[in-house]
């Protein structure tokens, strides 16, 4: 079964994603939406479902420790989800979308291995429909 992993710690954003999918797609065509609000939860859901995940959407900062290993970031605002991009890229070859509203976070996530970026959460579902041909 096809699945999309949505990593965002704002419950309202996740609800919007789900509503947008239901509105834009026929129910039978909707991939399962896996949601994760923290670094640990995202890791767990990825490991349990990696065979079925067809796309990953990552917010910049989520619940979890700061991105200590990226402390060379002069602004000190390195998104902590950047560690997930590196971990997921070891085995996941599908599309990953950086969906942070902070431009510098999107750029860091792109450099870490995301394929696409969106500057508005409202554009995520449209981008998924485009790249997955849903």
Q: What is the pLDDT of residues 31-78, one digit of tens each?
A: 788 888 888 899 999 999 999 999 999 987 665 555 555 445 445 556
Supply the CATH classification number for the domain 3-132: 3.40.50.2300
Q: State pTM to two decimals.
A: 0.84
Q: Using alpha carbons, list the distances in angstroms from residue 48 to 72, 78, 117.
A: 32, 27, 25
| Per-domain boundaries in the chain | 3-132
Q: What percent of the chain has pLDDT over 70?
A: 80
Q: What is the pLDDT of residues 65-86, one digit of tens each?
A: 555 554 454 455 566 778 889 9
Q: Using alpha carbons, list the distances in angstroms from residue 134 to 25, 30, 31, 60.
A: 8, 8, 9, 25
């Amino acid at each position: 079964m096809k699945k999309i992993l949505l990593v965002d710690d704002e419950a309202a954003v996740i609800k919007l994603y789900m509503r947008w999918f239901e509105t834009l797609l026929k129910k039978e065509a909707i991939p399962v939406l896996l949601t994760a609000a923290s670094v640990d939860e995202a890791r767990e859901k990825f490991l349990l479902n990696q065979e079925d995940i067809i796309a990953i959407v990552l917010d910049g900062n989520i619940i979890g420790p700061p991105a200590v290993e990226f402390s060379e970031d002069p602004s000190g605002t390195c998104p902590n989800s950047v560690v997930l991009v590196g971990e997921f890229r070891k085995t996941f070859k599908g599309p990953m979308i950086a969906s942070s509203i902070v431009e510098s976070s999107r750029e860091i996530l792109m450099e870490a291995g995301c394929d696409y970026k969106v500057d508005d959460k409202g554009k995520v579902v449209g981008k998924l429909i485009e790249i997955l041909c849903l």
